[in-house]
Amino acid sequence: MNTVVLVTGATKGIGNGLVKHYLQRPNTTVVAGVRAPSSTEANSLSRFNCAPGSRVIIVKIDAKSETDSSDAAQTLEQRHGIDRLDIVIANAGVFDPAAHQKVMGMKLTDLQEHIDVNAYGVIRLFQATWPLLNKSDKPIFLLNSAGAATMSGMKTFAHFPLNSYAASKVLANFFILRLQSEHPNLIAFAVHPGSVITENRTAAAAKLGVSVEGLSVDQCVSSLLSLV
């Protein structure tokens, strides 16, 4: 039976790795949510090696958009004949190092930008995809969250002013817990992918003046796939 997976933030880092690895599984349809479907990065997804019976569908999903997620769901049904989603991975997110100041120096507009993408974007994605997820025998909604958005993580990362990012992920985590209780047939959970060496993380670390150590994208993705 064909498995249908939707991954947002699919052009870079962990999202890109998830698309690549899922396509290596037979009979898997991967829906890659990207901000700019006509970009070189998005087009490169179509050149990934595919196992027999597998394919990639590229759709426009900008986490900040009020309509992209619902438009994408409609496109999947009407243009591509997708009648269900088995797994949705909310991977798209924003982390702006320049926005991370101590509470006294925070700009609420920076906080709002992180919340709009990292929390509201997750809600938009779920609301749009739930009708298709609900048709799966085992629907899964996975949030790529952050260690800094946990009680223990707040202490671990106390010396880094990750206020806007962490707060937005805490809000997203709350809604994931609510989904689990509101939809008993849904498997909904958030994961901390670990310290992963990605292009965005390397750039952010440079701006924050910290070193980059951790897992490769392939190592991270292999670990995530063991959960779903």
Q: Catalogue the active-site residues.
A: 165, 169
> For residue 6, what are the β-bridge partners?
31, 88
Residues in the chain: 228
Q: Dihedral sign, CA of 149, 122, 87, 183? A: positive
42-92 pLDDT, tens digit each: 999 999 999 999 999 999 999 999 999 999 999 999 999 999 999 999 999
Q: Check: CB of residue 93 under 8 Å from CB of residue 191.
A: no
Q: Check: CATH 3.10.129.10 for 3-225?
A: no
| Angle at which helices 121-133 and 68-78 cross, to 10° | 20
pLDDT of residue 135: 98
For position 147, what pLDDT does the model report? 64
> Per-domain residue ranges for the chain?
3-225
DSSP character for 155? H
Distance CA 7, CA 19 (A): 7
Instruction: Compare 192 and 132 and report the one with higher pLDDT.
Output: 132
